[in-house]
Structure 1
């Protein structure tokens, strides 16, 4: 809201990318500001926040029924849904466990629908699925402690020298609102 008051005539276009698509947006300068988990060589990034990735499935899924310490081998034997790489060359597969059966989707909402159907499991950001966990439509898969995943999310400017006042102000606003306390 503060940003909108300071820059009322600025239009913002949000590109939702994943994996190498985020890097491409930086390299090809199709985005002025990028939030992602990897910083390409030659770019400076600022740590923004950490995201806890948790394994989840529907309540009736075999991975959550009266289980504890599910192993990576067990996960690999099950059908996993992953968010596809939006990059041109689709070179990255972060989060995929090389499951025998993988379903790749292009939207987060599709992965939720598949999860609720009981057909798949997924690793998702815990903060994105708080409501589903609270209402019980998704349950956490009890993994062995060594399988916890924590992603560091960074924010980058495509070109710090060319960034205008609105881009720099948005960068600072996002950092102030989302960054975890040190």
Structure 2
């Protein structure tokens, strides 16, 4: 068994197709199929069920895949550690972020990071705050930027507060509220709202603020992105509650301060374990302290 065979298995699993997997791995299909068959023979179990219509993992394949991923990641980490010891930062950096991040100019940070460390392969994923904590905890992401209610503390990761601010009501220019200097939640409760999915951290800040005021509102439209939320508001379908710093960038919409509105905290999170050289360099660029926490701390 070798690492290349594991890469072939992973490619087949992710594409569900031997031809596409071979193209991804820059190898002819017959050679890839031969290597997968050799690995199956060595393991004494078939990893894939092959039919004329589809390819899918067997139970043995499902069991093999996580260990194969870990082995490939460990090999990548070993190469990166050796390179770092000789003064070169290389490897991979996976970052997650909410779409409404404002505490950090993330494109500018990533541009500077790429300038300093051109050998690092960077990936950025738009992820909900809840999933981001899980993915940083299990190592799928090196770092993440959350937007959560003040009382939310991510479990199983290290974190640092970046910003703390109130939401504003975002309305179309022709909306009656657009002329107001400020409003409170009682003025908003009868409006149709555009918001994120119920149960998400992005939605929780607003739900908790209305609940604390003893009010119930109607979220008529649930969306998955701030961009779609702004478009819905722009067409007069409802109003939204968004962080003031983010709303300020929506120049064709009106932002109205809400005196008792939701509060959001933006947090940076990263693994409790020693970061890879690439991740350590990224966190250092953000001023995060990656030294091991003191015992009992």
TM-score class, shorter-chain normalisation, is 0.7 to 0.9
Alignment pair present for 1:57 and 2:171? yes
Match of 2:135 among 10, 13, 25: 25
Residue pair 1:18, 1:84 contacting (<8 A) in 2 also: no
SS at match of 1:160: coil
Name the structure where helix makes up a greater proportion of residues.
2
SS at match of 1:110: helix
Provide closer, same or farther for how the CA distance between residues 62 and 25 of structure 1 changes in structure 2, counting only shifts above 3 A. Answer: farther
Deviation at 1:51, TM superposition (A): 4.1
Deviation at 1:39, TM superposition (A): 3.1
Alignment pair present for 1:75 and 2:188? yes
Structure 1: where are the runs of 5+ without partners? 177-182
- State the match for 2:277 in structure 1: 165
- State the match for 2:93 in structure 1: none
Structure 2: where are the runs of 5+ without partners? 1-110, 211-215, 289-297
Q: Which runs of structure 2 are paired with 1:4-153 in the superposition (5 Å)?
A: 4-36=114-146, 37=148, 38-64=152-178, 66-67=179-180, 69-84=182-197, 90=199, 92=201, 93-94=203-204, 95-96=206-207, 97=210, 98-133=216-251, 137-143=252-258, 145=259, 147-153=260-266
TM-score (norm 1): 0.75
CA–CA distance in structure 2, aligned partners of residues 105 and 50 of structure 1:
24
Max radius of gyration: which structure?
2
**Higher mean C-alpha displacement, 3-12 vs 113-122:** 3-12
Provide closer, same or farther for how the CA distance between residues 102 and 165 of structure 1 changes in structure 2, counting only shifts above 3 A. Answer: same
SS at match of 1:106: coil
Deviation at 1:168, TM superposition (A): 1.1
TM-score (norm 2): 0.49
Residue pair 1:53, 1:151 contacting (<8 A) in 2 also: yes
Higher relative contact order (CA 8 A, sep 6+): 1
Provide closer, same or farther for how the CA distance between residues 51 and 67 of structure 1 changes in structure 2, counting only shifts above 3 A. Answer: closer
**Higher mean C-alpha displacement, 72-81 vs 45-54:** 45-54
SS at match of 1:59: coil
Q: Over residues 57-76 of structure 1, what are the superposed CA-to-partner deviations in whole Å (9 max), with x where a residue is unaligned?
A: 01222333x44553323322
